[in-house]
Structure 1
Amino acid sequence: MKSGRCNFLPGIVAEIEQTILSFVDACHTRKVAMVVGSTINTLKDRDGKRWGNLPDIYCAYLIRCLVFRGELVGYGDLFRMRYSEIKRPVTL
């Protein structure tokens, strides 16, 4: 990170996104704040040095990106973690 900005390589972004997706299913909605916290804790448990400074805001941004791409369904105000929920889309 430089000057307060997140500069992650595509492989790192993919790892964060896969961790986010691991906490979400198609049957139940999950609070975005809970998924963000679980994601950060899981990544820190894997490698604290590497993930120690991962901002929660960046995880929330990636969740919005996943919703935009259709990989997740969002409910509520996705810009406010405590007031929004997500789940995977139902596929038939």
Structure 2
Amino acid sequence: MRVYTIGHSNRSPEDFLNLLKKYEIEVIIDVRRFPSSKFEHFNQKTLEDLLKREDIEYIWMEELGGFRRKGLKNSPNIAIKSKGFRN
């Protein structure tokens, strides 16, 4: 099984579908914690319906999404909070 990653960016629905067809994508797994977008056609329900019309399966896996409520103790990004690392 080959796995691809794709970001929708600001593609039109047609461009997005053409890209999926070009690479013969059969299943999309949406890993966004909150599956919405300022582009209506990439909101969960609209996207799911769009893909269904093209016989592409849509699966939402919220547990793979981001948006951590608490920082990670050992994160290399902890320095961002230190005044010594800021201008």
Query: Under a length normalisation based on structure 1, what TM-score does the superposition of the two structures give?
Result: 0.31
Larger radius of gyration: 2
TM-score (normalised: structure 2): 0.32
**Relative to total residues, which structure has the larger helix share, 1 or 2?**
1
Larger RCO, structure (CA 8 Å, separation 6 or more): 1
